[in-house]
Homo-oligomer: A and B are copies of this chain.
Amino acid sequence: MSRDMLPTLRQLQYFRALADAGNFRKAAESLGISQPSLSQQIANLEKVLRVALIERGRAGAILTAAGREVLSRSVGILEDVKSVVGIAEQVGSGALGTYRLGASATFGPYLLPSVVRQLHSDHPTLRLFIRDGRPSDLLEDLFSGRLDLVLSQLPVLSSELNVIRLFREPLFLAVSRDHRLAARKNVEDMDLAGETLLVLSNGFSLHAQLVELAQTLGATLQRDYEGSSLDALRQMVAMNMGVTLLPALYAQSEVGPNDGDVALIPFRQGRVSRSIGLIWRRSSRNPPAFDAFSDQIRTVVRTKFSDILHLEG
């Protein structure tokens, strides 16, 4: 009976039933308990609240002023609690909830707006908070629980994480307008031999891929300056500091068909590309909403970006 003692939900339920029924016996019956149990719980509630809620008289149970105040609030509280059960169920079934998605900077501006828009119309109560950043930072936030999902280039190498492949995004060769390859309709892997390849800084997933590619094809890596954004990289290419590979989504949207400050050349057969997938903690158990998200992304890729991207999985 200490100072910060709270009434029990059960007590509030019983109290409401009592107020509805108007007397202890009927209320107890409607609750499926015995009359003494009800009397006791009501007495306890009054003890916790230190105020009489019910006037016991032959006219039955009459609410006191305190009882009336407590009743109206109790009804609200009980409804709130019931609604929590409903909410929990909805979230559990993937019909509702707010999820935090981290995405490489590339997707933020080009792909995700469509996804969010479509998601909002298909599942108005499923919300997505999107944060962008370097994939390595995003993955750390995913581990620490600050994010629920990450949309990023594969592969991702942790047994803690679950990955689903979504689509493949071709890379374009970007060269300055006066580069020897600038006029080519398309290129082969081997054409890169001897070129200086500009890359993003470590922490971006393109970094690792390009480093490997450079080694395989005999290109030289420009390591003195690593770009921190695709825009920066593009400008370096325009100034002829080297060549680079740009993801199709960025290339298509930001550089434009073929009139930008750099020339974009596709690889034959789309041989050079990166794979994009959705990643989450294995311990988050793949909630239904995650499937909804990947479905939405796939749908957007199919309906709006089928000329650029290739579905996978």
Interface residues of A (CB under 8 A from B): 6-10, 13, 48-53, 55-57, 59-60, 62-66, 68-70, 73-74, 76-78, 80-85, 87-89, 91-92, 96-99, 143-145, 148, 160, 281, 283-285, 287, 289
Q: How far is the CA of A66 from the CA of B51 in the complex (A)?
A: 37
Whether A88 and B49, one on each chain, are in contact in the complex, defined by CB atoms closer than 8 angstroms, is: yes
* Shortest distance between the CB of A161 and any CB in chain B (Å): 12
15 A-B residue pairings within 8 Å (CB atoms) = A6-B81, A6-B85, A49-B88, A52-B92, A55-B281, A55-B283, A55-B284, A57-B283, A59-B145, A63-B145, A68-B98, A69-B97, A69-B98, A73-B84, A80-B80
Task: Identify 13 new A-B residue pairs, CB closer than 8 A, beyond the known A64-B287, A65-B98, A69-B97.
Answer: A6-B85, A7-B85, A48-B85, A50-B88, A50-B89, A51-B92, A56-B283, A60-B145, A62-B145, A62-B283, A69-B91, A73-B83, A77-B81
Residue of B nearest to A94 (CB): B65
Q: How far is the CA of A98 from the CA of B71 in the complex (A)?
A: 13
- Contacting residues, chain B, for A98 (C-beta < 8 A): 65, 68-69
Known contacts A51-B89, A287-B64, A74 near B69 by CB under 8 Å: no
Q: How far is the CA of A49 from the CA of B66 in the complex (A)?
A: 32
Q: How far is the CA of A7 from the CA of B9 in the complex (A)?
A: 9
Residue of B nearest to A146 (CB): B62
- Contacting residues, chain B, for A285 (C-beta < 8 A): 52, 55
The interface residues of chain A, by DSSP majority, are classed as helix
* Shortest distance between the CB of A88 and any CB in chain B (Å): 4
- Contacting residues, chain B, for A92 (C-beta < 8 A): 49-52, 66
- Contacting residues, chain B, for A289 (C-beta < 8 A): 65
Q: Which one, B76, B80, B143, B287, contacts A65 given CB within 8 A?
A: B287
Whether A80 and B82, one on each chain, are in contact in the complex, defined by CB atoms closer than 8 angstroms, is: no
Q: How far is the CA of A85 from the CA of B5 in the complex (A)?
A: 9
- Contacting residues, chain B, for A66 (C-beta < 8 A): 88, 91-92, 97
Whether B65 and A87, one on each chain, are in contact in the complex, defined by CB atoms closer than 8 angstroms, is: no
Whether B65 and A148, one on each chain, are in contact in the complex, defined by CB atoms closer than 8 angstroms, is: yes
- Contacting residues, chain B, for A97 (C-beta < 8 A): 65-66, 68-69
* Shortest distance between the CB of A282 and any CB in chain B (Å): 9
Q: How far is the CA of A109 from the CA of B73 in the complex (A)?
A: 33
Q: How far is the CA of A286 from the CA of B5 in the complex (A)?
A: 26
Residue of B nearest to A127 (CB): B65
